[in-house]
C-alpha cells in the first residue's frame, strides 16, 4: 500500500505568500497614508484660515469698520512680514493680531499650522488688498499641492 499524505509543498506556500504581499502592496498604494494625513492637515488649515478671517471681520464690525492697523497692505501670500505672530510681545517683524485674542473676545488663542515648529509665527498670513480693501488669510505650507486661501 502506498502512503498518501496530503500536504502543501514549499513552492505552493511561497506562491501564496507572494500573492498576499502583492495584494497588500496594491492596497497600501491605493490608500496612500501620507496623502491621507496631508489631506487631514489641510482640512485643519482650511478651518484655521476661516477662523482667523471670521475673527478679524467680527473685530471690524465691532469697531465700526476699522481694520486692525497691524494688517499690512499686500497683493499675494508669501511675504514674511504678513505672517501672523503666535503671541504678542515676541513678534519680530510679524503681524501681531493679539487684539483678536485679548480676553478671548474674538479668539481664545491664535490657530497654529499643524506642521509649524517652534517658530514665532503661526504658519498663516494675512494682508489687506490696497485697491479693493478685501482681507485675505492664507496658509503658508499646505500639503499635496493644495492652495489654502480665503478672501472676503
What are the tens digits of pLDDT across the range 11-51?
A: 999 999 999 999 998 988 888 989 999 999 999 999 999 99
Is 3 part of any domain? no
Strand ranges (DSSP E) for 13-104?
73-74, 83-85
Is 134 part of any domain? yes
pLDDT tens, position by position, 23-34: 998 988 888 989
- What phi-psi label fits residue 123: left (phi over 0), alpha (psi between -120 and 50 degrees) or beta? left
Is 6 part of any domain? no
Is 19 part of any domain? yes
Confidence label for 122 from pLDDT (cuts 50, 70 and 90): very high
User: Is 8 a residue whose pLDDT tops 90?
Assistant: no
Neighbouring CB atoms inside 10 A of 27's CB total 9
Is 2 part of any domain? no
Angle made by CA atoms 117, 123, 128, in degrees to the nearest 5 = 160
Is 44 part of any domain? yes
**Entry pTM:** 0.81
Amino acid at each position: 500500500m502506498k502512503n498518501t499524505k496530503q500536504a502543501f509543498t514549499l513552492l505552493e506556500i511561497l506562491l501564496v505568500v507572494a500573492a498576499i504581499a502583492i495584494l497588500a502592496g496594491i492596497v497600501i498604494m491605493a490608500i496612500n497614508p501620507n496623502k491621507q494625513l496631508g489631506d487631514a492637515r489641510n482640512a485643519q488649515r482650511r478651518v484655521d484660515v476661516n477662523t482667523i478671517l471670521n475673527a478679524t471681520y467680527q473685530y471690524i464690525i465691532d469697531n465700526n469698520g476699522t481694520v486692525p492697523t497691524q494688517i499690512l497692505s499686500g497683493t499675494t501670500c508669501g511675504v514674511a512680514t504678513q505672517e501672523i505672530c503666535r503671541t504678542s510681545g515676541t513678534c519680530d517683524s510679524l503681524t501681531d493680531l493679539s487684539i483678536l485674542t485679548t480676553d478671548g473676545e474674538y479668539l481664545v488663542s491664535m490657530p497654529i499650522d499643524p506642521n509649524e515648529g517652534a517658530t514665532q509665527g503661526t504658519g498663516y498670513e494675512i494682508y489687506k488688498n490696497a485697491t479693493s480693501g478685501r482681507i485675505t488669510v492664507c496658509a503658508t505650507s499646505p500639503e499635496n499641492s493644495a492652495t489654502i486661501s480665503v478672501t472676503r
